[in-house]
């Protein structure tokens, strides 16, 4: 199972694309935790998904910085 992670998180080392090879469906929050970007918004295949969402084969996850107010 491959999960493609596209990261748009400024001021970190995590900008770019990573491919995760996972043995089984895994909650989105676990992958974000591994990346150290738990407080960010994640879109899975272009849709907002809760952090409990179970990632599936070939999902594309785009991680965006969480912007409040402004």
Domain with 56 in it: what CATH number? Answer: 3.10.20.30
Using alpha carbons, select from 50, 54, 55 the residue that is nearest to residue 5.
55
Q: How many domains does the chain have?
A: 1
Cβ-proximal residues to 69 (8 Å cutoff; 6+ apart), any chain: none
On whether residue 69 sits in a domain, the answer given is: no
Q: Give the C-alpha separation, 63 to 43, whole Å.
A: 6
Is residue 37 assigned to a domain? Answer: yes
Residue 70 pLDDT > 60 = no
What is the domain range of residue 17?
2-64
Q: Is residue 70 part of a domain?
A: no
Instruction: Tell me how far apart the alpha carbons of residues 13 and 56 are, in angstroms, rounded to a whole number.
Output: 25
pLDDT digits (tens, 9 = 90+) for 12-45: 666 677 777 777 788 888 888 888 777 778 888 9
């Amino acid at each position: 199972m491959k999960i493609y992670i596209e990261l748009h998180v400024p001021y970190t080392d995590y900008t770019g694309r990573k491919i995760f090879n996972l043995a089984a469906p895994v909650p989105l929050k676990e992958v974000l935790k591994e990346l150290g970007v738990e407080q960010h918004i994640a879109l899975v295949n272009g849709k907002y998904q809760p952090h409990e969402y179970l990632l599936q084969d070939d999902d594309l996850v785009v991680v965006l910085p969480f912007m409040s107010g402004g």
